[in-house]
Amino acid sequence: MISGNPTTSPTLNLEPITGVIRCMAASTSQNWLFRLHSLQEWWYRRSSARTRRRILIGVTLLLVLDEAALLLGMELTGQWNWSYLPLHLCSINVFVCLYNTLTDRNWCKEELYALCIPGAALALLCPSWLDVPFWWTFINLHSVSIHALLVLYPTLLVVGGYRPSPRRIPQVLAFLFGSALPIYFLNKPLGTNFYFLNNPYGNIITSTFTELLGEKYYILGFLPAIALALAVMYLPWALKEWRSRGRT
């Protein structure tokens, strides 16, 4: 589209074009990530228990290094502030992955399956960085890589034999709300927005909640969203349990 007036030379407005290009780049990266995940799952499924353990350790190390690289990069470039503390749900899940790799706890696996997979997948499908001027920035690449690894880790757990159970949903909710409560109050003195609990800006999902419910009540939109996510994640397992009971 051309903009201008008769007394000045016209200028080309490239904003719509660059927006399309950024969306295409995001879509392409998501497509390649899906293929890579499929290949890794195929390899993991056919590997021995020892090899699976090594793969899981490798993914864990990549997660920790990815998160550490962000903190170090922000510090070295003078851009670090309180908002880069690893206190968003996805960042906390990096340490849940680490703890699970070290201790092999079922509650970790359940939380990662129920909350980490849908949260990280949503961050990949609906990134909040599509409006930035340049796609190939450190923060954007970090966002793609960390969320891709966070989808991969619990997926490998399920491929490796872990079976989620709807009976453990109360444990998942206890972790979610138990961690959200102190973070809500921590956001106030730090001026941060971890878990997107203190304002709806900077996130596509919470912005949608604001349009539907208003800025004052946007936080209520999390309740049906969480219920929907849990229903999607657990319905196949609930049906499987129901069918197995019917055969006995």
Convert the pLDDT of each residue in 170-229 to its tens digit: 999 999 999 999 999 999 999 999 999 999 887 888 989 999 999 999 999 999 999 999
Return the structure tokens found at 136: 């190939």
> Would you give the distance in Å from CA 21 to the centre of its chain?
23
Which is more confident, 24 or 124? 124
- Reference 171, options 127, 112, 221; nearest CA is 112
At 36 the pLDDT is 55
CA pair distance 187, 140, nearest whole angstrom: 23
**pLDDT tens sequence across 110-136:** 999 999 999 999 988 877 655 555 567
| pLDDT range class, residue 27, cuts 50, 70, 90 | very low
> Can you tell me the mean pLDDT for 10-34?
42
Inform me whether the pLDDT recorded for 70 exceeds 70. Answer: yes
At 220 the pLDDT is 95
Phi (first) and psi of residue 107, to 5 degrees = -65, -35
| pLDDT range class, residue 94, cuts 50, 70, 90 | very high
